[in-house]
Structure 1
């Protein structure tokens, strides 16, 4: 198979992200796709990059574009499914690693290796770009929850409003953004009669 056919196969595979639904709902009551989440994360990266020192914006946006690509094969697993379940987390990681290898092997070697390495870097969350991408991932998810009707939230998502700090505390601008997102989530819960204090220190 020549390179252009391999590239076309990967493009067709990526359509799955348009059809793979997340446990997030839009403000109009429609369920969100993985592709929509990824798009807004990339847009957020473009907007915040000027305020983050020493960030490689091209690498950051590439990493975001492919960070959930494995879900085209493995499907989406909501974060709360693995929050307190070690076995479920290990299983998810294994499924996604195998999917990443499949995607790598679908593509021409050089492109496949770049995508695979970017995905691994995101998963390890050790480099600066990976940390920023991870922070934007968590922030975008909460922003989307804040925009949705609170009837779509599970109780564990009340708790997750207060779990963003560890993902953003390395950067002051992202921390300020987190404070706004957290405040909006908290206000949404209070308006719905939820006792927020019991969820703050879980």
Structure 2
């Protein structure tokens, strides 16, 4: 890989700074995909000592690349029912497009981690999926959401990813308490 290819890739990543998610910040502004991915990586890093069995480097990379596929078509809310297989295929094609300047090895390495996350078959992918759902809900409770926001959806969203580990369940229980508090404040 040469310098030009790397710079081309880094410039293309700006799309994720501009691509907004369906979550709102405290200011009322919509969160970007890049902001979500950064905070997810920090969440994983902060918990890394609790999970020594995980490959922390792989987890952090997965946090940073898990939503690269949203660079062209954006974020689709979990509340919107879509064909998951089609969504994943489209996102993986977007990752290939986004990483095209990296050459075959770079493209392959990033796509492989995205596929691992999407399929959820490793302990690292399951961990990142759990944190991804919880980070999203934290943003929903922290943000200034539009009227009629569906907080109730958050009480079940992603629960299947935290059921087997006490620390994750404990964090999720606190997040659910915050969700219920937010629901009551806005009722």
When normalised by structure 1's length, the TM-score is: 0.85
Q: Equivalent residue of 2:156, what SS? A: coil
Picking from 171, 181, 187, the partner of 1:177 is 171
Q: State the secondary structure of the residue aligned to 2:71.
A: helix
Unaligned runs of 5+ in 2: none
Cα deviations by residue, 1:140-195 (Å, 9 ceiling, x for unpaired): 0000000113435533x4222233320112322111111110110011112222xx
- Structure 1 runs not aligned, ≥5 long: 194-202
Aligned CA distance change for structure 1 residues 153 and 61 (closer, same or farther; 3 Å) = farther
On the 8 A contact 1:42/1:64 being kept in 2, the answer is yes
Matched, 1:131 2:131: no
Separation in structure 1 between the aligned mates of residue 48 and residue 147 of structure 2, nearest angstrom: 31
Which residue does 1:196 correspond to in 2?
A: none
After alignment, is 72-81 or 52-61 more displaced? 72-81
Could you say which residue in structure 1 is the equivalent of 2:18?
19
Q: Tell me the residue number matched to 1:37.
A: 36
The size of the alignment, in residue pairs, is 187
Are positions 1:47 and 2:53 aligned together? no
2:89 is matched with 94
Distance 1:21 1:152 in 2: 19
- Report the counterpart of residue 77 of structure 2 in structure 1: 78
8 Å CA contact retained: 1:25, 1:145: yes
RMSD: 1.7
Residue 120 of structure 1: aligned partner? 115
- Looking at structure 2, the residues matched to 105 and 116 of structure 1 have their Cα atoms a distance apart, in angstroms, of 11
Give yes or no for contact 1:146–1:184 (8 Å, CA) kept in 2.
Answer: yes
